[in-house]
Amino acid sequence: MLPRRAVLGGLVAGGLGAALAPFDPAFARDMLRVRVRQGLLRGRMEGGVRVFTGIPYGHAARFGRPVPARDWADERDATQPARAAPQPQDAGAVQAEDCLQLNVWAPAAPPPPHTRYPVLVYIHGGSNETGWSGAAMTAGDRFAAHGVVCVTLNYRLGALGFLELGGILGPAYAGSGNNALRDIILGLQWVRDNIAAFGGNPHAVTVAGESAGGKNVGTLLGLPAADGLYARAMVFSGGAQTINLPGDAQTFAEAVTRRLGGRERLLVAPFPAIVAAQAAVRRAWPRGLPFRPTLDGRFMPMVPLFRVARGQAPRVPLLIGSNADESRLFLTETQAARPLNSQSVANETMARMAALDQAYARAFPDLSGAERHWKLLTAEEYMMPGLRLARTHAAHGNPVWRYRMDLPAPGGPNKGSTPHVLDVPLTFDHVTLPIAGQMFGFSAAQQPMADAWHGAVLAFVRGGAPGSPGLPLWPRFEPSNHATMVVDRVSMVVDDPDSAERMLWGEPALVPLPQQIARSGNRLLG
């Protein structure tokens, strides 16, 4: 199995909202110097857009809740890379616990009078264990070139962001298992308070994420503390149900503490020792994605999907979907042909997966064992959680657009399939980067597809329905028809394209799901 941490770690003006005052005329005098609430920043011009990197938005003591970044007196150099959160591999940047930093790509020209540019805030993936805000594939320069202020931010990863220590270190550390989500919320608050200085509209913020980042965006829908900080959401290969119950969170925290050498080591050990301990425990953990938020009844009052099902989540437009062959990135054909491994399963019990494996064998008799497992694992972690979130959000009348990425990789180790992460260079319009070529065989030949998909995402971020000249008209997803944009060499809208699989999961009805979700809570948590 390819560790997902190794894979994912390497990775026009919009006058939305209320009318705003004219843009600061000082912009014209020195557009590379921007004053935010903490002090003066100096950025750089790169590729025709303004770039500001390594901006501190917060600070946190180890396992503590984040607080806003401290003010600085002198001009701050915002041309150096952001520091990466501590993680068990080379992130391509200096790793440090003081990693709550973000990057901003902004158009070079000021926005038209009484308007601001729409804003995209992107949450990186990496199994909540790896990744950082400065990966080349998710650089926001192409969004800025098309009139969007793009922000990418770091959050604490692994044990430092997701270890629930209230039962080990005492009440002062209760809730530490959700500190990474608190980091993200603090970053969104920074955007609310400061993005106008870059020409961005704080009332037109789209929060987006892919993989673990997509799951974290889905989780934000369940967190009252995040309400009002975003106007739109995009969930790429994610959902709203991958969380820890308190007992599992406690058990994992105790295992990491033992491996580290005891509770007295938690606050004093150097962070590489904590990263080594978490990696050792993760290798033996009988479930995928151990680093996940914790259902604590306070910060997270209920499973995020349940909050959506009850109609209590923000009524924001949602763009959501997944790739047809997500799990192929993590399992070779030989590995996929073996019996299902619990470490490949994110949400369901192994008993349920065994029953589903038999159901898939009956429903898809022409698939090999490896192909069947790829299909089942893709549905378990990505397709079904995303579909549930789309259905529950749309059931309350919220605008939802769903897609399924079927575009086959033209080269690379997964040639001919549509694995996890393939959509990312299309979303950010970076198909000509070397890493996109190495992973998927992308080159300038895929630029028309990138234009189509990036253009559709741009249209959504700008406040409308997703769409571009390279795609057919994209209707809203409704619980009664499941209209889905199937993105391929020739894209098309298909009603309920995943019906055969959906019925195997015991969710056959084309009706709203809130009552079904409420009745099946424990099963949906695995």
Q: Please identify which of the residues 133, 176, 211, 491 carries the catalytic annotation.
A: 211
Q: From CA 418, how far away is CA 430, in angstroms rounded?
A: 17
Q: Which of 208-222, 460-474, 507-521 has the lowest mean pLDDT?
A: 507-521
Q: Domain range spanning residue 110?
A: 4-524
Phi, psi of 127 (to 5 degrees): 60, 20
Neighbours of 474 (CB within 10 A): 22
The candidate with the shortest Cα–Cα distance to 56, out of 95, 93, 100, 106, is: 100
CB distance 236 to 321 below 8 Å: yes
Give the model's confidence band at 24: pLDDT under 50 very low, under 70 low, under 90 confident, else very high. low
pLDDT of residue 31: 86
pLDDT of residue 30: 80
Give the model's confidence band at 112: pLDDT under 50 very low, under 70 low, under 90 confident, else very high. confident
Beta bridge partners, 233, equal: 207, 318
pLDDT of residue 517: 61
Find tokens 């990505």 and name the residue: 382
Q: From CA 366, how far away is CA 422, in angstroms rounded?
A: 26
- Residue scoring higher pLDDT (259 or 12): 259
pLDDT of residue 510: 66
Name the domain count of the chain.
Answer: 1
SS3 content of the chain, % helix, strand, coil (to 5): 40, 15, 45
pLDDT of residue 113: 83
Write the single-letter amino acid at 379.
A
Task: Calculate mean pLDDT across residues 429-450.
Answer: 98
Per-residue pLDDT reduced to its tens digit, 302-330: 999 999 999 999 999 999 999 999 999 99
Q: Is the pLDDT of residue 143 over 90?
A: yes
Neighbours of 98 (CB within 10 A): 13
Q: Is the pLDDT of residue 34 over 60?
A: yes
**DSSP tag of 498:** T
Global pTM? 0.93
Q: From CA 339, how far away is CA 292, in angstroms rounded?
A: 25
The candidate with the shortest Cα–Cα distance to 458, out of 206, 218, 240, 282, is: 206
Q: From CA 293, how far away is CA 281, in angstroms rounded?
A: 17
pLDDT of residue 3: 45
Per-residue pLDDT reduced to its tens digit, 372-397: 999 999 999 999 999 999 999 999 99
Query: How far is Cα of residue 15 from the mean position of the Cα atoms in its chain?
Result: 26
For residue 418, the domain's CATH number is 3.40.50.1820
Q: Establish how many alpha carbons lie within 13 A of residue 488's alpha carbon, considering only the half-sphere containing its beta carbon.
A: 13
Write the single-letter amino acid at 505.
W
CB distance 322 to 388 below 8 Å: no
Q: From CA 253, how far away is CA 272, in angstroms rounded?
A: 17
Q: From CA 250, how far away is CA 244, in angstroms rounded?
A: 9
Give the model's confidence band at 10: pLDDT under 50 very low, under 70 low, under 90 confident, else very high. very low
Per-residue pLDDT reduced to its tens digit, 56-107: 999 999 999 999 999 999 999 999 999 999 999 998 999 999 999 999 999 9
- And the tokens for 439? 């992973």
Phi, psi of 117 (to 5 degrees): -75, 145
- Angle (nearest 5°) at CA 198 between 196 and 202: 30
CB distance 130 to 212 below 8 Å: no
pLDDT of residue 513: 60
- And the tokens for 198? 């870059």
pLDDT of residue 398: 98
CB distance 328 to 416 below 8 Å: no
Phi, psi of 95 (to 5 degrees): -95, 140
Beta bridge partners, 67, equal: 59
Q: Note if 491 is an active site residue.
A: no
